[in-house]
A and B are shown apart, each in its own frame.
Chain A
Amino acid sequence: MKTFVRVLVLSLVATGAFASSHYRDGVPTVHSKVSAMPVPICPPSDPNGCGLCQFNGCPPDGK
């Protein structure tokens, strides 16, 4: 139990450290909620609704 938990914790920390060390230099990193919800990256005034319809389908009258 003790070893399993310690290995799990170390692997989580190593994964996080490895991932953050691979961020591209000079490219601002955008973080999103840890959730299955779509990430709204486009400006709020985006005329296409940032592609919300792509996954979720739009109403048939095309509003």
Chain B
Amino acid sequence: MIALVNLLDLLEPALCLAVLVLLARSGQFRSYVFVGGFLATRCLSCALLLALVHPIWLHHLGLLWSIQKVYMFYFVVYWSSYAIEAALELGIIYNIYRLAMAPLEGLRELGMIVFRWAAAISLALAVAAGFGPHLTSSSFVVHAVSQLQQTQSVLTLSMLLFVCFTIKPLGLSYRSRMFGICLGLGVMAATDLVISGWMTVVGTKIVPLSFVSGLAACVGLATWSLYFAVPEPKRRLILLPTTSPFFRWNQISEVLNDDPGYVAIGEVTLDMFAPAEVEIMRRASAKM
């Protein structure tokens, strides 16, 4: 099984690179900028981590550096890239929500306010989770990034559920890239939640754990590559019945976003108005 794990180690950056090329070729890099950022970070971190721990490299590197020094670099690269990836995954979910809800602008604006608050609270919780007993800088980083990832995984699965069951009113289909990205990310999020529970029982140094984790990453990335390789169907015209709750709530949200009117309170004298305004009021009162 170790050979399989080593194979997955090599397959993952290759898949990241393949999705990145397909994304660039699809001409939608600007729409999915967070996906691009995530893939670039992942590809770079995988290459660096692989360079540090792959048996062949470790053998050559070990002749220059002590294993302690190699591990220290591995620790820094792993957790810093993990933190960046978790933040970028939050960005991906935010971006997917923004794109999916584009036709329902009122609801989109309302949802984005809620999303920003949820993201801010999850960041605050992540920082708070780092301050545990026996606090060290390394334990702070590990626990803060873990908390951020846990929140991000829950948010990803919620978004996947939302996109899956509102796909028709949003004018999308199961072949849309927005759904494909959510699905790939959902596979990784579900695996992350399972693996972290598994790790508390068996520890981190077991080969099946690495195998399942690596396989899920490759499945998620393969899903993305499939969706970016196949042409995306055009978004359908959205026809909602006038009784649809989506339509009603969108109207309400749009009104909520409107600029309010203003009422003058207290003593108002004529010199506070412009001459044109005074003239309009004079003519209006003459008609009464």
Contacts and interface: CB of A to CB of B under 8 A. Distances in A.
The 6 A-B residue pairs with the shortest CB-CB distance, nearest first, are A36-B214, A59-B62, A49-B71, A49-B67, A36-B8, A31-B146
A44 B174 contact: no
Contact of A40 (B71, B165, B213): B71
Contacts of B138: 43-44
Interface stretch (B47-55, B99-107, B242-250, B261-269): B47-55
Contacts of A24: 200
5 contacts: A12-B187, A31-B146, A37-B46, A41-B204, A48-B68
Interface string B194-228: 11110110001101001101111100100000000
Interface of A: 1-2, 5-6, 8-10, 12-13, 15-17, 19-20, 22-24, 27-59, 61, 63
Nearest to B11: A36
Q: Is the interface of A mostly helix, strand, loop or mixed?
A: loop
Contact of A52 (B12, B74, B199): B74
Given A33-B213, A38-B53, 7 more contacts: A2-B174, A31-B146, A33-B81, A34-B216, A37-B210, A43-B136, A44-B75
A23 B197 contact: yes
Nearest to B160: A9
B129 A40 contact: no
A6 B76 CA distance: 39
B206 to A, nearest CB: 10
A18 B276 CA distance: 68
B132 interface: yes
Nearest to B139: A43
A30 B196 contact: yes
Contacts of A43: 136, 138-139
A15 B204 contact: no
Among A24, A52, A61, the most chain B Cβ lie within 10 Å of the Cβ of: A52
Given A23-B200, A31-B192, A40 B67 contact: no
A58 to B, nearest CB: 6
A52 B53 contact: yes
A56 B71 contact: no
Contacts of B205: 38, 51, 54-55
Nearest to A61: B63
Nearest to A53: B67
Interface stretch (B17-25, B29-37, B115-123, B148-156): B148-156
A37 B197 contact: no
A58 B62 contact: yes
A54 B75 CA distance: 16
A20 to B, nearest CB: 5
B146 A35 contact: no
B89 to A, nearest CB: 10
A28 B132 contact: yes
Nearest to A41: B204
Contacts of B78: 33, 37, 39-40
A58 B58 contact: yes
Contacts of A41: 142, 204
A34 B143 contact: no
Nearest to A20: B193
A37 B53 contact: yes
Nearest to A12: B190
Nearest to B194: A19
